[in-house]
Amino acid sequence: METKSDTSKVSDEHVKNQISPYYLSASDNPGNIITQVQLKGDNYDEWARAIRTALRAKKKFGFVDGSMKEPAKEPELDDWWTVNSMIVSWILNTIEPTLRSTITHMEVAKKLWDDIKERFSVGNGPRVHQLKSELAECKQRGMTILSYYGKLKLIWEELANYEQYPICSCGGCTCELEAKLNKKREEERLHQFLMGLDDTIYGSVHSNILSTDPLPPLNRAYSLVVQEERVQTITRGKEGRGEPVAFAVQGGVKGQIEIREKSSVICKHCRKTGHDADSCFQLIGYPEWWGDRSRTGGRGAGRGQGGQRQGIAQGGKGRGSQIKANAAHVTSEGSGIQGHVLDADKTGLKGLSNEQWSMLLNLLNAQTEKNQEKLNGPHFEDADWCG
């Protein structure tokens, strides 16, 4: 007894067999774009493959290859022209607009297809030569692995359409020749893929893959190279974040070393530390902020430091004077200036009592000690010193 499910299966099979090449769904219209690949002139093979796939999916490729002949009788003739005109519109919709205007208008889909093929299709010999030249020149050259592999794959696929391996037609072959030929083709593609990689970045993974016996499949090699690319990206990101910190530490060390070197300099003329003969005031002349203090070099370090502070207090004598005053104080730290206030030191700020002078010196010393703890930047005589 025939069940309901059996009846349903038979009905479905009947519907499938009844789908005619003349059938057009409600969504089919002349404005449809059946493929996203546009014919631009030099991509005919790619465009033709896309059109063939789209029309075969709709059971309409017979109108293009000539297998669906124009019927001689009605009503099939009207249906044939309806579908034929629809296919002509679909083909024209996939041609680049400026190129479309140069194509002769034809109402029959097969004639239009043959005309486009005759005009844009390149002969097998020249096209194969062109593809092999592109394959030999295809290198990564800064591209991502995804982009580089995709470019190679397009060339491989098109080249395979022209260079198809022979297939046994007798039906009695038991040596699996086709499988062996496909394996040989994949190994050749693996070598081509590895040869185009950037050796400076992927040299190690390149060597590891080639040292594997037997060689891994192409997809496995691609996966290994992509993993290496991700590791390299992460490593470069960490190095980029570490550079500013390293620069800051280097600058601090440089500043401290230069300060120590400056404090160890001894003038050959006056025998004092902190400057050389080229910057000795006794040779080049004393600045205005030096005031009435002794100019013979007979006084001690405390007197000289007091004069340097007087230069800071006066201000307005130029940035160079302030920098020298700072320099003298930093390089002579700990020489005992607190509490030693001389009359010559008061020349710059008249009207201050000894107690006020002591408070001022204590304040300056406290600020200097605080700054000394943070001193790890450029040397005080560098162009970018803020004073």
Most confident range, picked from 72-81, 209-218, 348-357: 209-218
In this prediction, residues 361-366 reach a mean pLDDT of 76
- What 8-state DSSP symbol labels residue 94? T
Of the chain, the percentage scoring pLDDT greater than 90 comes to 34
Give the residue from 50, 75, 49, 51 showing the smallest Cα distance to 63: 51
**Model pLDDT, residue 265:** 80
Contact 381, 330 (CB under 8 A): no
Q: pLDDT tens digits for 314-355?
A: 444 444 444 444 443 444 444 444 445 566 555 555 666 777
* More confident: 256 or 19: 19
**Model pLDDT, residue 345:** 59
Which value, to the nearest 10 degrees, does the dihedral of the CA atoms of residues 33, 161, 116, 86 take? -30
* Residues forming beta bridges with residue 95, ordered by sequence position: 39
Give the Cα separation of 339 and 344 in Å (integer). 14
**Model pLDDT, residue 333:** 43
C-alpha Rg value of the chain to the nearest Å? 44
**ω into 75 cis (within 30 of 0):** yes
Q: pLDDT tens digits for 166-176?
A: 776 676 677 78
| Pick from 9-13, 122-126, 283-287: least confident | 9-13
Instruction: Annotate 184-249 with DSSP letters as a single string.
Output: HHHHHHHHHHHHTS-HHHHHHHHHHHHTSSSPPPHHHHHHHHHHHHHHHHHHHHHHHHHHHHHHHH
**Model pLDDT, residue 217:** 94
**Model pLDDT, residue 95:** 95
Q: How confident is the model at residue 384 (pLDDT cuts 50, 70, 90)?
A: very low
Q: How confident is the model at residue 105 (pLDDT cuts 50, 70, 90)?
A: confident
Q: How confident is the model at residue 81 (pLDDT cuts 50, 70, 90)?
A: very high
Domain ranges for the chain: 14-120, 124-165+177-235, 277-373
Q: How confident is the model at residue 274 (pLDDT cuts 50, 70, 90)?
A: confident
| Pick from 268-277, 303-312, 366-375: least confident | 303-312
| Pick from 11-20, 241-250, 255-264, 333-342: least confident | 333-342
Residues 6+ apart with CB under 8 A from 220: none
Q: How confident is the model at residue 185 (pLDDT cuts 50, 70, 90)?
A: very high
**Model pLDDT, residue 241:** 63
Average pLDDT over the chain, rounded to an integer? 76
User: What does residue 95 show for φ and ψ, rounded to 5 degrees?
Assistant: -105, 135
Which value, to the nearest 10 degrees, does the dihedral of the CA atoms of residues 138, 140, 145, 146 take? -50
Half-sphere exposure in the Cβ direction for 364 (13 Å, CA): 22
**Model pLDDT, residue 313:** 39
| Pick from 8-17, 124-133, 187-196, 207-216: least confident | 8-17
| Pick from 134-148, 230-244, 278-292: least confident | 230-244
